Amino acid sequence: MDISNVVQSVPMGLDKQDLAQEKKEEVAMEFEKMFARQLVNEMTKDSFKMGDKNGVAGQANNMYRHHITDTLATEIAEQRKLGMADMISKYHKV
């Protein structure tokens, strides 16, 4: 059994408390990303409408919308513009 990938993924010198804090930050960022995705999805729901929903053009349009929504949400979350991740991180530090 090869455990080299597991050993490399755990940074040296970090104790359990630091790893737990890092995990909390990761969860906070994921929450902000999900929240941003919902916001962008809601804001753009009427922007990508086409007449043929079930045809090839409609399916391509849905893929394009999904890609745009995901990209915008990721950018917003990484910039921490919504403040959700900061609020969650602050709550966990108290």
Q: In degrees, to the nearest 5, what angle opens at C-alpha 24 toward C-alphas 18 and 26?
A: 105
Per the domain annotation, does 73 fall within a domain? yes
Which of 19, 34, 43, 42 lies closest to 74 in space, CA to CA? 34
Q: Identify residue 32 by its one-letter amino acid code.
A: E
Cβ partners under 8 Å of residue 21, min gap 6: 92
Per the domain annotation, does 6 fall within a domain? no
Contact between 58 and 52 under an 8 Å Cβ cutoff? The reply is yes
Per the domain annotation, does 9 fall within a domain? no
The number of domains in the chain is 1
Tally the C-alpha atoms within 13 A of residue 78's C-alpha that lie toward its C-beta.
Answer: 6
> Can you give the pTM of this predicted structure?
0.64
* pLDDT tens readout for residues 6-45: 555 555 556 888 887 788 888 888 888 999 999 988 888 7
Per the domain annotation, does 61 fall within a domain? yes
